[in-house]
Amino acid sequence: MNLGSRKLFDRSLTGVSIMAIILMSLSLLVLLGPIFSRGLGAFIFRATSEHRRLLLEQFNRGDAEEIAAETRAVAGARRPVYEMLEKFKKELATMEYPRRQGFRAELKEVKNLLRELLGPLPGEPEGVMLRQQYGQTRWDRARIKLEQILYSEQWDYSDTRSMGKKILVPRQRSFAGTQLEPLFPYLKNNLDKMLRPRLVFYWRFLSDVSMNSHFFGGIWPEILGTIYLTLGAMIFAIPFGIIAAIYLSEFASGGRLVSLLRVCISTLAGVPSIVFGLFGLAFFINTLHLSNSKSVLAGSATLALLILPTIIRSAEEALKAVPHTYKEAALSLGASQLRMVLTVLLPAALPGILTGIIISMGRAAGETAPIIFTAAVSVGQPLKIWETLSQPTPALPWNIYNLATEHQAVDEIRHVQFGMVLTLVLLVLLLNLAAIMIRARISKKMRG
């Protein structure tokens, strides 16, 4: 090759590798961008009067008088809607049979949507479920419901080569000439008077229990469950992790046993997390009977085994990074090995050990697969601390999965899902940030 091509080759290698770094950073941005922007929507959103009524009636929060006045004002704005419905019902009775029949199905649909938008219609019994007692609490959801009322969805299958095409048909057109026709423009123009959206910062999303399977309320049971599971895992894993690290860095003298132990640790680190879950089910629950079925205890124990290798490795590295002179000084002063480890080695290595512990805390908090069979349930109340020994708990990672795939109305509670993901990601990122800061301090100290 001539010099030119060699140079070009060199440049293109530089280009490709920098591209890889850029791509990686971009994918991180693409991943976190929507999670942050839409996750914030669970906390900061335009809340309707229904939201304030719900908070007052279910959580006893807010100014009762003010909300009562607001409810009256809102009811005033809604009255024409209900009057139009009544008038149309009377008109319907005067129509001849086929025409009446044609309107009936669509009227039912409109009424259902109106119930979802504004809450139960006047004069109707309230539903059993909380979701049937309130209208839309979020303005963005209310706007979507409004669209569904204004336009009915129909599918066009005339083009056989492709999948059906969606067409939106204004309902106003299908009700043209009837008493119900003015309902649609009225709804469109007065929705803000009927719901009174106001921007709120709903930080209680973090501390409220969920109501009616996450249609309303917050995610406190999940957060508490995640905290229990994580702390439980740390209680089991930290002592064993540090003991193993001390042994491997200070007392192990090479040889077969030690290399076997090392192989075991790295093997354990490579076991897929779902296998840990199965093992937890087969061992902790079906064999040891730690609890009758899933429990926080069994889940924590499983998670502890999962993070044990991480803790051992980072603690061992931290212990090895302590300068030899420290140990030698302590030993030459006549301290026993135990004393040296406890009073010199561990304190000196503490920040490094802490870093590893914090990082594995993040790992334990985010793991889903090991807790599916051992600890997690979809719906549950916040547990008391002694209940963790025998009760399963909802947890953030599991409920993100559950709400995003198995919930009855996946699309309607997107904001809750995003809020949960944001909470979990922030929790893990903050833990990692703390670890990074501790590490920066250590390296500064080492250099200084």
Q: Which residue type, as a one-letter code, is found at position 330?
A: A
Contact (CB, 8 A) for 296 and 230? no
Q: How far is the CB of 161 from another protein (least distance, A)?
A: 10
In the bound state with another protein, the residue whose beta carbon lies nearer, of 168 and 264, is: 264
In the bound state with another protein, the residue whose beta carbon lies nearer, of 38 and 100, is: 38
Closest CA to 245 of 335, 343, 163, 354: 354
Q: In Å, what is the CA distance from 424 to each residue of 17, 95, 226, 237, 363? A: 32, 57, 9, 21, 11
End-to-end CA, the chain: 49
In the bound state with another protein, the residue whose beta carbon lies nearer, of 368 and 391, is: 368
CA distance 233 to 360: 10
Q: How far is the CB of 436 from another protein (least distance, A)?
A: 6
Contact (CB, 8 A) for 389 and 321? no
Q: How far is the CB of 74 from another protein (least distance, A)?
A: 33
Contact (CB, 8 A) for 349 and 315? yes
Q: How far is the CB of 216 from another protein (least distance, A)?
A: 21
Q: Which residue type, as a one-letter code, is found at position 162?
A: S
Which sign does the torsion angle of CA 365, 369, 374, 375 carry?
positive
In the bound state with another protein, the residue whose beta carbon lies nearer, of 73 and 269, is: 269
Q: How far is the CB of 63 from another protein (least distance, A)?
A: 37
**CA angle, 185 as apex, 181 and 187 as ends, to 5°?**
105
Site of tokens 């124990």:
301
Contact partners, residue 419, CB within 8 Å, separation at least 6: 39, 41, 42, 43, 205, 219
Q: How far is the CB of 128 from another protein (least distance, A)?
A: 27
Q: How far is the CB of 312 from another protein (least distance, A)?
A: 7
In the bound state with another protein, the residue whose beta carbon lies nearer, of 59 and 401, is: 401
294-311 core/surface letters (b: 16 or more CB in 10 A; e: else):
bbbbbbbbbbbbbbbbbb
In the bound state with another protein, the residue whose beta carbon lies nearer, of 286 and 343, is: 286
In the bound state with another protein, the residue whose beta carbon lies nearer, of 176 and 410, is: 410
